[in-house]
Amino acid sequence: MNINSAINSLESFHLAVDETGAKERAASIAGRSIKKESKVHAIKLAVSMIDLTTLEGKDSEGKVYALCQKAIRPMDGSEEIPHVAAVCVYPNMVKIAKSALAGSGVNVASVATAFPSGQSPMKLKIDEVKRVVQMGADEVDMVISRGEFLEGNYQYTYDEVKAIKEACGEAHLKVILETGELETYDNVRKASIISMLAGADFIKTSTGKVQPAATLPVTLVMLEAIRDFYNETGKIIGMKPAGGIKTTKDAIAYLCLVKETLGEMWLTPDLFRMGASSLLNDLLMQYRKEQTGVYQSADYFTND
């Protein structure tokens, strides 16, 4: 795709988003009342969609190993609760995660491209991506260069995503827009569509290092972009809100958003993920409550 046609197709997506309206719609869907069997189903689904994440300077092999164990068996002794979708780590931790997760069905996702700021030369980013894939990352979470995007250099954003996608090879690519820095919903929609045009497999809200991270309205705007992109091109793109999703209630609201915007087809870990860490235990706690009728103390859920 050359410069002109990329920009042209951008225009055909009707880029205006009304902030008040988007917030209202997201709040209305979040108000759905999900109870009983429906809630149990949602909890299991949510667990299977988690990208269990640790992205800290103090991450160590011990920490990542433990997190991987939790990812494989979130709730000890429960066959009902599935494993999470992936473990998301820094490049240095890819190898240990890969060996800890071998044969489990849980993917290794690595952040890359000078996460979280993206302020590095393109060549280094490409090398980094190639390296993490070589070390065994199944999924790459890249960040776009927000500075370039905000300068109006959309072609740069397009080329950047396209180059990283090529460097990914077989690994699948999640493009982090860092919506907290893009600020407006018009920007979010525009960045979503550019990323999808350039070959993103997933679009993702945030690094988790900038506030606000994932919000319901931002996710709604991105889901609508995915829906419109699918309608125009037939290509199915996934969505990952990340950061700030802490409770079962939050997670269920996100699932309702997906169900009512994109439909059942997207309610699978192949197409929807939630980047989170503390969410998992809240889901387990709510699951136990649905089974037994009472809330169990936090001490009964493992902290890894």
Partner 1 sequence: MTFREKSATASVRISANGNGGSKSSSSVSKKPVWEYTPSPEAKDHIEVKPRYDLFINGKWQKAKKYFATVNPATEEKIAEVASASKDDVNRAVLSAERAYNKVWSKTPPKERAKYIFRIARIMQEKAREFAVIETMDGGKPIKESKSVDVPLALAHFFYYAGWADKLKYAFPNQLFEPVGVVGQIIPWNFPLLMAAWKIAPALACGNTVVIKSAETTPLTLYKLAEVIQEAGLPDGVVNIISGAGDTGAAIVNHPKVKKIAFTGSTEVGKLIMRSIAGTDKKVTLELGGKAANIIFEDAPIDQAIEGIVNGIYFNQGHVCCAGSRLFVQESVKNLVIKKLKHRLKSLRVGNPMDKNTDVGAINSRMQLDKITELVRSGIEEGCSIYQPECKLPESGYFFKPTFFTNVAQSNRIAQEEIFGPVLSVLTFRTPKEAIEKANNTQYGLSAGIWTDKGSKIFKMVSQLKAGVVWSNTYNKFNPASPFGGYKESGFGREGGLQGLKEYLIF
Site for partner 1 in 177-216 (CB under 8 A): 201-202
Closer by beta carbon to partner 1, 44 or else 209: 44
Told to check if 172 binds partner 1 by CB under 8 A, we report yes
Stretch that binds partner 1, among 112-120, 169-177, 208-216, 285-293 (CB under 8 A): 169-177
In sequence order, the 6+-apart residues with CB closer than 8 A to the CB of 74 are 47, 81, 82, 83, 84, 280, 284
At 124, is the secondary structure helix, strand, or coil?
Answer: helix
Residue among 51, 190, 204, 282 flagged as catalytic: 204
Active site residue 125: no
**Applying CB under 8 A, which of residues 269, 277, 280, 284 lies at the interface with partner 1?**
269
Here the tokens at position 169 are 């090879």
Type of residue numbered 257: L
Provide the minimum distance between the beta carbon of 75 and partner 1 in the complex, in angstroms, as a whole number: 17
Here the tokens at position 116 are 């979280």
Cβ distance 107 to 132 under 8 Å? no
Stretch that binds partner 1, among 89-97, 124-132, 254-262, 281-289 (CB under 8 A): 254-262
Closer by beta carbon to partner 1, 18 or else 61: 18
CA 127 to CA 206: how far, in whole Å? 22
Provide the minimum distance between the beta carbon of 39 and partner 1 in the complex, in angstroms, as a whole number: 8
In sequence order, the 6+-apart residues with CB closer than 8 A to the CB of 7 are 154, 155
Burial of 65 (0-12, 13-18, 19+ CB in 10 A): middle
**Applying CB under 8 A, which of residues 2, 16, 77, 121 lies at the interface with partner 1?**
16
Active site residue 204: yes
Q: Classify residue 212 by its DSSP letter.
A: S
Site for partner 1 in 222-251 (CB under 8 A): 224, 227-228, 230-231, 234-236, 238
Told to check if 163 binds partner 1 by CB under 8 A, we report no
Provide the minimum distance between the beta carbon of 38 and partner 1 in the complex, in angstroms, as a whole number: 4
Told to check if 120 binds partner 1 by CB under 8 A, we report no
Q: What is the dihedral of CA 73, 78, 83, 89, to 10 degrees?
A: -30
**Applying CB under 8 A, which of residues 20, 211, 297, 303 lies at the interface with partner 1?**
20
Residue among 51, 141, 201, 282 flagged as catalytic: 141
Told to check if 95 binds partner 1 by CB under 8 A, we report no
Q: Can you give 218-280 as a three-state secondary structure string?
A: HHHHHHHHHHHHHHHHCCCCEEECECCCCCHHHHHHHHHHHHHHCCHHHCCCCCECEEECCHH
Active site residue 141: yes
- DSSP E strands in the chain: the ranges are 50-53, 86-89, 107-111, 139-143, 172-176, 202-204, 238-240, 274-276
Provide the minimum distance between the beta carbon of 57 and partner 1 in the complex, in angstroms, as a whole number: 28
Q: Which residues bind partner 1 (CB under 8 A)?
A: 14, 16-18, 20-22, 24-25, 31-38, 41-42, 45, 85-86, 101-107, 138-139, 170-172, 201-202, 224, 227-228, 230-231, 234-236, 238, 255, 259-260, 262-265, 267-271
Would you please indicate which residues are annotated as catalytic (active-site) residues?
141, 204, 240
